[in-house]
Amino acid sequence: MVIDCIEPGYYYHIYNRGINKERIFIDEKHYLQFLMLCKNYLPEHIDVLAYCLLPNHFHFLVHFKDDPDRVSRASSPCQGVLSLSHMFNAYAQWFNRKTGRTGGLFQRPFRRKRINDEIYIMQLIYYIHRNPIHHHLVNNLMDWKFSSYSTLIGDQPTLLKRDRVLSWFEDRDNFIEFHASISEIADDGMLEWEHPVRV
């Protein structure tokens, strides 16, 4: 399995699942805790553009901000990678305390794929948002509370880069239409593994 090296200034599909495909979110408070930690750990070094959390895995589309203080690309990870790792560790420790489990929660290393093509970004955003339908958790994108879809088409303040996302689709109406008009986008190499959801 080839893992893309993360470099500042690029977009990435970040995704991972629980060890042995086990659940990483049990109930609503787990999803909300994970999102709160995202808000605490990521914005300084990472722009989040889209996400979806599901019972045993998650997807993010992110942009790693420039890292002018990084001394060496070869010898040190960028600050965004450290922010992600700290966030994942913080959630795993919280989850273990709440559920009485021990040991690692996520598969390692977390998966990442560099995205260089705007059309691919649009398809990836759709793919991320459609995951709850694909896994038969809901029938409508609006019905899954733990994705960025509702926030991106709304007006409430958000840390998501809403304007940038909508600009790829030209405007909000086209964003909604794009999500409504395509029934399925094939995996097409977006993932190296299958991850059936355990409910």
Kindly tell me if the per-residue pLDDT of 2 is higher than 60. no
Give the tens place of pLDDT for each residue, 28-83. Answer: 999 999 999 999 999 999 999 999 999 999 999 999 998 776 555 554 678 889 99
Give the mean model confidence (pLDDT) for residues 2-16. Answer: 87
- Boundaries of every domain in the chain: 11-181
* Residue 157's pLDDT band (cuts 50, 70, 90): very high
Residue 134 host element (H or E) = helix 118-134
**Distances from the Cα of 25 to the Cαs of 28, 39, 72, 90, 170, in angstroms?**
8, 17, 36, 14, 34
Give the mean model confidence (pLDDT) for residues 86-93. Answer: 97
Give the tens place of pLDDT for each residue, 116-136. Answer: 999 999 999 999 999 999 999
What percent of the chain lies above the pLDDT cut of 90? 77
What is the rounded distance in angstroms from the CA atom of residue 140 to the CA atom of residue 147?
12
What is the rounded distance in angstroms from the CA atom of residue 181 to the CA atom of residue 172?
14
**Distances from the Cα of 64 to the Cαs of 18, 151, 155, in angstroms?**
24, 21, 25
* Residue 5's pLDDT band (cuts 50, 70, 90): confident
What is the rounded distance in angstroms from the CA atom of residue 193 to the CA atom of residue 199?
19
Superfamily of domain covering 11-181: Transposase IS200-like (3.30.70.1290)
